[in-house]
Structure 1
Amino acid sequence: MGNKFSDYIKYIFLDYDGTIIENAESEFLKEYFTLLSKKSGIEFNQLLQLIMSSVEGSIKNTANDKNLFEKFSIAISQCSGKSREYWVKLFYDFYENEFDQLSKIVKPKKELIELMRKTDKKLIFASNPLFPKIATYKRIKFAGLEPEMFLYVAHMENSTYAKPNPMFFKEITTKLNISPDECVMIGDTEFDMACEKVGIKFIHINEEEKWRQVF
């Protein structure tokens, strides 16, 4: 008998919505936009459309001379006619203050989190980097975890690409100088499965037996 696949795995990439927490992304975003609409005074659907089209624009912009936060702030400024400074100030103020209210809806996936706490494998937070660092760190804490538990945390300021672009995963393995053969991605969508295009094995969160073995 050869070594089990899990013996070769040193790095575990983890998605957030639908994986580390049980909430679907749509559930989190509904509450998010409700709060941000109140904060900004912009009507819910108008704000939703504005932000989603700006996010889409920044994801499609694969130039590597700017991080995702820069790409997004330029896109939303162009779409809205308001300055980048206006949006940056609004978002950071929101993340500093009102964003914490979202912690009450978060349902951590306890079985997975228990294994994350015990493992000696290196953990990589690989949720789609559509939040800046301040919000990403808070989201980790909403699940009862600490950012320090992760070898690397992907967020808007340190990412050039977003899922489903495989370059999102490639950028992380290159930065950390690690081999895709030593990595596995645990997630819940086809966006997460894009990791396979760069040689990282994918395990769906529903395949509990498989991810238990990896830890």
Structure 2
Amino acid sequence: MEKKTIDNVKYIFLDYDGTIIENAESEFLKEYFTLLSKKSGIEFNQLLQLVMSSVEETIKNTANDKNLFEKFTMAISQSSRKSPEYWIKLFYAFYETEFDQLSRIVKPKKELIELISKTDKKLIFASNPLFPKIATYKRIKFAGLEPEMFLYVAHMENSTYAKPNPMFFKEIMAKLNLSPDECVMIGDTEFDMACEKVGIKFIHINETEKWKQVF
């Protein structure tokens, strides 16, 4: 990364799973579905299939007249033949209570967390917005951070698109009136690399020296 590019960076987009925390997404989801299965009374594999297929539908749905939470509840309602209200009530009850147990498995990436806590750069929480606000804020706290540390936190209710759709990044830039050359994305997957399609520089979490320089 050129020195000039580093000097230009004012906004740092950050992924969560595999980036802010060391846990891979698969590890987090296994525990997540174990708890949600107990809460809902729906068998683990059936619930996993139902939720993940609905998430896939949500990601594919590029209509701009609904947010991701609306898209998801519509998709899971159609697949399960249970009402959107049933799912909304279940998920919110889960996020208010049992979801907190997931904090015990979270392994924050300490070196990155320290830089996040000290930087004067503007931070954007750019994990794939597939959790509602209540859960997203809790996930941030699981890592030892506070939502207030971020200029913007992407979650289901304020997002129309999800990664790897580059519109996810474009929507945030439009809302905050950002120029891509002022931004950098730190992440760990090809989904995060979609930022390059809208002109945002991507740094892989394994490129430690590069992201240290950005901070």
Q: TM-score, normalised by structure 1?
A: 0.99
Structure 1 residue aligned with 2:102: 102
Structure 1 residue aligned with 2:207: 207
Does the aligned pair in 1 maintain the 2:5–2:181 contact within 8 Å?
Answer: no
Which letter maps to 2:142? F
Structure 2 residue aligned with 1:40: 40
Which letter maps to 1:114? E
2: CA distance between counterparts of 1:92 and 1:58?
A: 18
Structure 1 residue aligned with 2:20: 20
Structure 2 residue aligned with 1:149: 149
Structure 2 residue aligned with 1:139: 139
Which letter maps to 2:87? W
1: CA distance between counterparts of 2:3 and 2:37?
A: 53
1: CA distance between counterparts of 2:4 and 2:114?
A: 22
Match of 2:123, SS? strand
Match of 2:151, SS? strand
Structure 1 residue aligned with 2:90: 90
1: CA distance between counterparts of 2:70 and 2:57?
A: 12
Q: CA deviation at 1:5?
A: 1.9
Q: CA deviation at 1:3?
A: 5.3
Q: CA deviation at 1:6?
A: 1.0
Structure 1 residue aligned with 2:196: 196
Structure 2 residue aligned with 1:180: 180
Cα offsets for 1:126-163 (capped at 9, x unmatched):
00000000000000000000000000000000000000
Which letter maps to 1:209? E
Q: CA deviation at 1:4?
A: 2.9
> Aligned pairs, how many?
214
Q: TM-score, normalised by structure 2?
A: 0.99
Cα offsets for 1:24-77 (capped at 9, x unmatched):
000000000000000000000000000001000111010000000000000000
Which letter maps to 1:31? E
Which letter maps to 1:59? I
2: CA distance between counterparts of 1:181 and 1:15?
A: 19
Structure 1 residue aligned with 2:169: 169
Structure 2 residue aligned with 1:4: 4
Which letter maps to 1:143? A
Which letter maps to 2:165? N
Which letter maps to 1:79? S
2: CA distance between counterparts of 1:4 and 1:182?
A: 11
Structure 2 residue aligned with 1:56: 56
Q: CA deviation at 1:118?
A: 1.0
Which letter maps to 1:142? F
- Pair 158,212 (structure 1): closer, same or farther in 2 beyond 3 Å: same
Match of 1:79, SS? helix
Percent of residue pairs identical? 88
1: CA distance between counterparts of 2:173 and 2:181?
A: 10
Runs of 4 or more, structure 1, over 4 Å off, are none
Match of 1:4, SS? helix
Q: Unaligned regions of 5+ residues in structure 1, if any?
A: none
Match of 2:108, SS? coil
2: CA distance between counterparts of 1:208 and 1:61?
A: 35
Does the aligned pair in 1 maintain the 2:77–2:83 contact within 8 Å?
Answer: yes
1: CA distance between counterparts of 2:65 and 2:4?
A: 41
